A and B are shown apart, each in its own frame.
Chain A
């Protein structure tokens, strides 16, 4: 049984539907990538899981439980942790306070996770007392991912974590995602940098116009001629 399943999900913001029937699954321990052109509903599909989108049709199931239309904090309580593409840190809070907010739901000691995040992203350790708003884009992305890791997620939802980053940072983020995944965290990843993302993914989905267009293993999609010409730059 898959950890997360979207079944024919329809919905969007306000009255406008962005999703016209999206289905996908993430298995336990998998990295799954969603690619597609701008406006295809990739980010919206991910946000639908977190309860930030009005879902008007279909079902979202996490770990066997129907979470369609669940409150955002209730989704977090199931340890589904979402990292938005933009506005993914609390700018006036320090790096350490950002990480503490990630652990808001925990009653136990989270010193170990804090140390683990600093191990994963060493630059954050020196900047722990600085406001997150003063950091560079790459460092903010580290804070954002670190915040999500504080809750010991079962599923990590990453919305274009490498957008706007230099190739060096991009490579580093992809490598860290794999490291996080190796600790047993399942990952759903929305990406523009499709080639690199499919390279680390077990499976991938291509969305177009709020619908599934292709799906398959990362290697299969990378080899697909149509996918290649449309999304991988030939």
Chain B
């Protein structure tokens, strides 16, 4: 039963990793840099939801869409102020700029809300029990909602004009420009989707654990590990990567002390980089 319970917890973690990793992969594919501030965008989303909960006296489920919208807007704003000016430089400069943005966001959260652990709603929610397994209703919602959101994203990328343009720009930015694709619009949509999914991941993780200024920072490694595992720049590969990382992390607690949980993600990421740097699901490159 321990294994099934660990798989269940692994699915929750995978859901949260997937929401972040898909964004990391999307941004890498289209803007060609590793967005180091993604974790702190997750944190920002979680705390923005807290602000709505406190100020509006509403449930966190009502606060979630507000946090999603504001985080998406913040992502566009940061791109406009910082990344856009650096677009013609080398990827390493964009990467370092995003390290700076990460620190700014984290300290902003720290300055406003302080270092202590916070929760959306006080009180303890008891998990549902069935067949010896424990699962909170929130956790069930996290898994189902994540599957729904990522399926929605997959449909968006397949079916809509702008979604196809995003995939096209990820394939070849120059050819996209030559075709007349509005690359500025593609970039804006990339931040909207990346920011929205990041905020959702933040709220979900805060629901599952607690609010903490390093909440997203602690998840960042998992995002990158999942994105690299799935082949960075392929958002749909990142989902599979997230499943592997999430399940491996939780299952490792069965025979390793829980503090090694994130080390497992590290080891998996390094192993993949050494053996198959294009990701475990990448077909042979032409």
Asked if B286 contacts A101 (CB within 8 A), the reply is no
Q: How far is the CA of A76 from the CA of B180 in the complex (A)?
A: 5
A-B contact pairs, 24 of them (CB 8 A): A50-B178, A73-B177, A73-B180, A73-B183, A76-B178, A77-B180, A81-B178, A82-B178, A84-B175, A90-B167, A90-B168, A91-B171, A92-B167, A93-B167, A93-B168, A97-B168, A100-B164, A101-B164, A101-B176, A101-B181, A102-B179, A104-B165, A104-B180, A151-B180
Residues of B at under 8 Å CB distance from A?
161, 164-165, 167-168, 170-172, 174-183, 286
Asked if A73 contacts B181 (CB within 8 A), the reply is yes
Query: Is A88 in contact with chain B by the CB < 8 A criterion?
Result: yes
Asked if A101 contacts B168 (CB within 8 A), the reply is yes
Asked if A84 contacts B178 (CB within 8 A), the reply is yes
Asked if B172 contacts A87 (CB within 8 A), the reply is yes
Nearest A-chain residue to B184, judged by Cβ: A73
Q: Point out the residue from B171, B175, B181 that lies within 8 Å of A92, measured CB to CB.
A: B171
Smallest beta-carbon distance B237→chain A, Å = 11
Chain A 42-68, CB-CB to B under 8 Å as 1, else 0, gives 000000001010000000000000000
Asked if B179 contacts A104 (CB within 8 A), the reply is yes
Residues of A at under 8 Å CB distance from B?
50, 52, 71-73, 76-77, 81-82, 84, 87-93, 97, 100-102, 104-105, 133, 147, 151
Which chain A positions have C-beta within 8 A of B172?
87, 90-91
Asked if B182 contacts A97 (CB within 8 A), the reply is no
Residue of B171, B172, B180 with highest tally of chain A CB at under 10 A: B180
Q: How far is the CA of A50 from the CA of B174 in the complex (A)?
A: 10
Which chain B positions have C-beta within 8 A of A133?
286
Which chain B positions have C-beta within 8 A of A151?
179-180
Q: How far is the CA of A89 from the CA of B286 in the complex (A)?
A: 13
Asked if A101 contacts B165 (CB within 8 A), the reply is yes
Asked if A52 contacts B167 (CB within 8 A), the reply is no
Asked if B178 contacts A90 (CB within 8 A), the reply is no
Asked if B286 contacts A104 (CB within 8 A), the reply is no
Asked if A97 contacts B180 (CB within 8 A), the reply is no
Smallest beta-carbon distance A145→chain B, Å = 13
Asked if B174 contacts A101 (CB within 8 A), the reply is no
A90-B172, A91-B286 given; A147·B179 CB < 8 A: yes
Q: How far is the CA of A76 from the CA of B177 in the complex (A)?
A: 8
Which chain B positions have C-beta within 8 A of A50?
178
Smallest beta-carbon distance B179→chain A, Å = 5
Residue of B170, B177, B178 with highest tally of chain A CB at under 10 A: B178
Smallest beta-carbon distance A120→chain B, Å = 18
Q: How far is the CA of A72 from the CA of B168 in the complex (A)?
A: 16
Nearest B-chain residue to A71, judged by Cβ: B177
Smallest beta-carbon distance A214→chain B, Å = 29
Smallest beta-carbon distance B137→chain A, Å = 39
Which chain A positions have C-beta within 8 A of B180?
73, 76-77, 104-105, 151
Which chain A positions have C-beta within 8 A of B175?
84, 87-90
Q: How far is the CA of A133 from the CA of B282 in the complex (A)?
A: 14
Which chain B positions have C-beta within 8 A of A77?
180
Q: How far is the CA of A125 from the CA of B181 in the complex (A)?
A: 24
Q: How far is the CA of A100 from the CA of B181 in the complex (A)?
A: 11
Given contacts A72-B177, A73-B180, A77-B180, 7 further A-B contacts (CB under 8 A): A50-B178, A71-B177, A81-B178, A82-B178, A84-B178, A88-B175, A101-B179
Q: How far is the CA of A172 from the CA of B168 in the complex (A)?
A: 28
Nearest B-chain residue to A78, judged by Cβ: B180
Smallest beta-carbon distance A95→chain B, Å = 13
Asked if A93 contacts B164 (CB within 8 A), the reply is yes
Smallest beta-carbon distance B170→chain A, Å = 8
Which chain A positions have C-beta within 8 A of B174?
52, 72, 84, 87
